[in-house]
Structure 1
């Protein structure tokens, strides 16, 4: 089993808490993206990033000084979004770190596919960014089937806990020999099941923590997740779709 999750926009540097174990596998591709970004003007970058002046200025400065090979933070500690807050990897136990290093993969517009202890530096580049590189119109075309092929080399089952923006970089390219199961975390509103962005992020992070704490390696056991008030709904679920409903 491999679990895919999204990155977060907000990042930090932490070179002290835990050591990195390797450089990212797709670093040559990252270097090409860095070259393309550095060739853009600050105004073009801000348009690409869709951010305010302060965030743009911070990331223009990051680009100028970016070193992809030293002063790095383990990927799992570098992201600060809600999903990562609920995952709380900083207080994992040793066996849980081993679990996520083997099974968890972060899909990144800049780095491609990251193991938790790959060394990264803060960047800003969402997968849906319209960055044309190497004759490719955007990052989905740039990464193509590379990320799916790497996952297919490692497993025949992918648990998709990523947002659609990031799962789109993997799902269409997986061979038929690899099963992908998507999770929905929602609430009933009348006859509909509604997903709420913040609650989904919380649940995805909590599920990664639960999977690691319980050493879950079989698809069928994912249904036992019941944290944060969620429970598995077999009537709404399918073979490759696990639906968890919050509340009664």
Structure 2
């Protein structure tokens, strides 16, 4: 069973990561080319195109220029990304066995790196799939990302647990995934005025909780996900189908 997550825009490179064995991103050479193509942008251009504050734009520009294409420097992705998903995943207290399981069964999609293993070393960056700084990131990554995930699925029972956002899940060409691949997308909803709706903030938190639930319990049978109750959620079979499993609270 393979889990996919989105990255976060927020990062932490100030706190050192635990001393677990690290790896290097599979598609680092392509990441280097993308970074090189972005270095000509001034902060004002970044601010205007990405519709972000000048403070964020200057930080983004500095990331592009400080990015090393020759040295293996940085921090493992699992500990570098912050934000709601990774806060609730909370890998800070993972054991070595937890890390080993995560390294085998979790992948993080990235607009810069394509596909990341949790312990892949990354450098500070800010870039998403819908960036106005570079054209065609889906075309850039879809074939390689799909091939890499397909290879992993063939050795991991052909079951994909999609805990990524819609923006990043589109990096996959589902038609090119292995035959009989099973994709399950957990959807987390809140009750409001008698109706169940998706709240983006709460959904991100739940994705982190569910990822941790899978890791801590070494879940390999997707049906066991239906026992997830963190944060007050519970599985609703009457609202679910084969592709989307609905959890409400």
TM more than 0.5: yes
Q: Secondary structure at the match of 2:238?
A: coil
Aligned runs of 1:50-89 on 2, under 5 Å?
50-68=51-69, 69-89=71-91
* Cα distance in 2 for residues equivalent to 1:225 and 1:165: 25
3-state secondary structure, aligned to 1:35:
helix
User: 1:201 matched to which residue of 2?
Assistant: 204
CA distance in 2, matches of 1:172, 1:43: 38
Write the distance in 1 (CA, Å) between the matches of 2:174 and 2:220: 24
Superimposed CA distance per residue, residues 143-171 of structure 1 (whole angstroms, 9 cap, x where no aligned partner): 12211210110111111001111111125
Matched residues in 2 for 1:43 and 1:20: separation?
39
User: Structure 1: which 5+ runs fail to align?
Assistant: none
Contact 2:63 2:126 in 1 (8 A): no
Counterpart residue number, 2:137 = 139
Distance of 1:59 and 1:125 partners within structure 2: 8
Larger displacement relative to structure 2 (8-17 or 158-167) = 8-17
> What are the superposed Cα offsets for residues 64-94 of structure 1, whole Å, 9 maximum, x if unpaired?
1112433310000001101111110011122
What secondary structure does 2:237 align onto? coil
Moved more, 58-67 or 228-237: 58-67
Q: Is the 8 A contact 2:143 2:173 kept in 1?
A: no
Q: TM-score, normalised by structure 1?
A: 0.91
SS at the partner of 1:144?
helix
Aligned-pair Cα RMSD in Å: 1.7
**In terms of mean alpha carbon deviation, does 138-147 or 44-53 score higher?**
44-53
Instruction: Mark the runs of 5 or more structure 2 residues left unpaired by the alignment.
Output: none
Which TM-score applies when normalising by structure 2? 0.91
| 1:222 and 2:225 aligned | yes
Q: Distance in 2 between matches of 1:25 and 1:50?
A: 31
